[in-house]
Amino acid sequence: MTNLLYSFTGLILFIFGFFALIVCAQPLRKILGCNVMATGIFLFLVATSYRADAAAIDPVPQAMVLTGIVVSVSVTAVALVLATSIRQASDPFIARRKKKAKGDARKKQ
């Protein structure tokens, strides 16, 4: 029974994450939405390894979850880097400050 509870929680998390990914406009929220989706899948995956006999728990899903977490961390890192550089490139305030810093450097030379 607990097994089913975990599975359904995982699926609900997946749907929440998906909702956030579609509805939210900010890149950071979208990235977090993806993370929540991934976590939901991992929870679902871990719940499949459950067996009534505690000694016979299936190790394969656990290996998959570990791999999945590594993949998810690296994708999140890439996405965050992209989001940061978009912000730096498109934000007029940051761009002006950068330009000014460049101009100052040139004056010193």
Partner 1 sequence: MISAESWIIVPVVAPLSGALLSFLIRRGSVIISMTAAALNGLAAIILVKQFLQAGPAVYAIGGWNPPLGITLHTDGPSLIMLAMTAVAAIAICLYAWGYFSLRIDEPVRIGRAERQESFFWPLWMLQLTALNGLFLSGDIFNLYVTLELLGISAAALAALSGKTSALIASLRYLLVSLLGSLSYLLGVVFIYKTYGVLDLVLLQKMAGMEPGVIAALAFMSVGLLLKTALFPMHFWLPPAHANALAPVSSILSGLVVKASFFLLFRLWFDIFSPVLPASAFSLMGFLGAGAVLWGAIQSLRQKRLKLLIAYSTVSQLGYLFIAFPLAFAGGTSQAWSTVLFMAAGHACAKIAMFMAAGNILLHIGHDRIKDLAGIRAHLPITSFAYAAAGVNLIGLPPSAGFVAKWMMLITALSTHQWLWALVLLAGSLLAAAYVFKVTSQLFVIPPDTTLIMRHRSAPLLEWPALILALISLLMGLMAPYPLRLLEIGVTPEVVMLLGGGP
**Interface with partner 1 (CB under 8 A):** 14, 18, 21, 27, 30-31, 34, 37-38, 41, 44-45, 48, 58, 60-61, 64, 67-68, 71, 74-75, 78-79, 82-83, 85-86, 89-90
Which candidate, 29, 34, 6, places its Cα nearest to that of 18? 34
Q: For partner 1, which is the closer residue by CB, 81 or 101? A: 81
Structure tokens of 26?
Answer: 């900010």
Q: Which is nearer to partner 1, 22 or 54 (CB)?
A: 22
**Residue 40 in contact with residue 14, Cβ under 8 Å?**
yes
Fill in the amino acid letter for 71. Answer: V
